[in-house]
Amino acid sequence: MRELTVLVTASGAPGTAALLRALRENGERTLRLVGTGMSERAIGRHLCDAFHVVPAGSDPGFAEAVLDLCRREGVDAVLPQSSYDLLSLAEARELFDGVAALLVSAPEAIRRSNDKAETYALLDRIGVRGPAWRRVQGGDAVAAAARELGYPERDVCMKPVFSSGSRGFRVLSASADRREQLLSNRPGVAEAMRLEDLVELLGENETELLVMELATGGERTVDGFARGGRILLGHPKTREAMRAGLAMYFRTLDDPALMETAARIVAELELDHFFNIQLVGEHVIEINPRISTIVYQEDLNLPYLGVKHALGEISEEELRALAARVRPGRVALRYFDQVEWDSA
């Protein structure tokens, strides 16, 4: 089989080492890896065959920089890891035609997923359960929305309409005790807040916010890849042992109803390539149109299969047949590792 070159963006992201290893250990061919990142300190610089610093995904020069690398490095497929990279790449899709396969959905699907209010409106429309929600700006509107959703009898939560990595997510609870939090909790934990404190903090700030029903229960995701709104391969998994906003433990589930829910969302957005649909309890809370943490199996290498599919090397029928290999009960445990070198 011919050698392949795959460019992985945001190669400082937490899942990078496992993703690169899986792509390399595909059991079929030599695979050359090109990593990009915003800093020389991305682990991709050490684990890829070539590494390049590029502008942030939100920078107007990002897609051009990736395109230029595709030409210079002879890249066959581009696999974006960060939510911030998706829109600029998708909007530049035509420029990549004939250069490299770009594993992203259409710009419209990405816009609708990045806008969490739009996502919740979409869930309501297609009858998939999401949290009750209000889109607001400023402290007073947050207070009114929180009361409508049952505060102070019920805890609610809020997050920015546009965000990622749990930035800005807060539980609003009338029983939150700041002194108790100060004295007994570890730093870095996003503490629950009382509404009064939040209202004071926000003032007339214009950031668009979502005030939401607080979903409760275990976190799960459905991960896989799609073509034209049809899931080709994927499975649900748990998302456990949170540490600094990242899950560290995952267990593959057998849950046809959850796959059916995911299928409706994927169809509505006409998603292509990798997706990750996130739930808290029975509520869908986020749609990520990109690759996320993968539970690898020696006989099922989702990232590699997704790349092969993007390159037209494997048919939809062949992929669907592979679904039988998904092993419920398969577990992934993440941990920290490190590399050393002598700085000049």
Ligand X SMILES: Nc1ncnc2c1ncn2[C@@H]1O[C@H](COP(=O)(O)OP(=O)(O)O)[C@@H](O)[C@H]1O
Nearest to 299 by CA among 327, 262, 337, 341: 327
By CB under 6 A, residue 238 contacts ligand X: no
Near Mg ion by CB under 5 A, which window of 12-20, 129-137, 169-177, 274-282? 274-282
CB 339 within 8 A of CB 43: yes
- Our CB check for Mg ion shows the closer of 238 and 278 to be 278
Out of 17, 64, 118, 163, name the contact with ligand X by CB under 6 A.
163
By CB under 6 A, residue 215 contacts ligand X: yes
- Our CB check for ligand X shows the closer of 289 and 300 to be 289
By CB under 6 A, residue 166 contacts ligand X: yes
In order, the DSSP letters of 129-180 are: ----EEEE-SHHHHHHHHHHTTTTTS-EEEEESS--TTTT-EEE-TT--HHH
By CB under 6 A, residue 169 contacts ligand X: yes
Minimum distance from residue 27 beta carbon to ligand X (Å)? 32
By CB under 6 A, residue 297 contacts ligand X: no
Characterize the bridge pairing of strands 156-160 and 170-172. antiparallel
Q: Which residues contact 52 (CB under 8 A, 6 or more apart)?
A: 34, 35, 36, 65, 69
- The Cα–Cα gap between 21 and 14 comes to 13
Near ligand X by CB under 6 A, which window of 13-21, 147-155, 277-285, 293-301? 277-285
Site residues for ligand X, 193-212, by CB under 6 A, read 212
Length of the chain: 344
Binding mask 114-143 for ligand X (x = CB under 6 A): -----------------x------------
CB 58 within 8 A of CB 84: yes
Q: Which does 285 bind (CB under 5 to 8 A by kind): Mg ion, ligand X, none?
A: ligand X
- Our CB check for ligand X shows the closer of 21 and 167 to be 167
Minimum distance from residue 173 beta carbon to ligand X (Å)? 12
Binding mask 277-316 for Mg ion (x = CB under 5 A): -x-------x------------------------------
Minimum distance from residue 278 beta carbon to Mg ion (Å)? 5
Q: Which does 169 bind (CB under 5 to 8 A by kind): Mg ion, ligand X, none?
A: ligand X
| Strands of 19-70, DSSP E | 31-37, 50-53
Q: Which residues contact 136 (CB under 8 A, 6 or more apart)?
A: 142, 144, 145, 208, 209, 210, 211
Q: Identify the helix (H) or strand (E) that includes residue 204.
A: none
CB 278 within 8 A of CB 286: yes
- Our CB check for Mg ion shows the closer of 154 and 167 to be 167
Minimum distance from residue 311 beta carbon to Mg ion (Å)? 29
- The Cα–Cα gap between 83 and 275 comes to 11
| Strands of the chain, DSSP E | 4-8, 31-37, 50-53, 77-79, 101-102, 133-136, 156-160, 170-172, 209-213, 219-227, 230-243, 246-251, 273-280, 283-288, 331-333
Out of 6, 122, 209, 280, name the contact with ligand X by CB under 6 A.
280
Total residues at the site for ligand X (CB under 6 A)? Answer: 18
Residues that bind Mg ion (CB under 5 A): 278, 286
Residues that bind ligand X (CB under 6 A): 131, 157, 159, 163-167, 169, 212-215, 219, 278, 280, 285-286
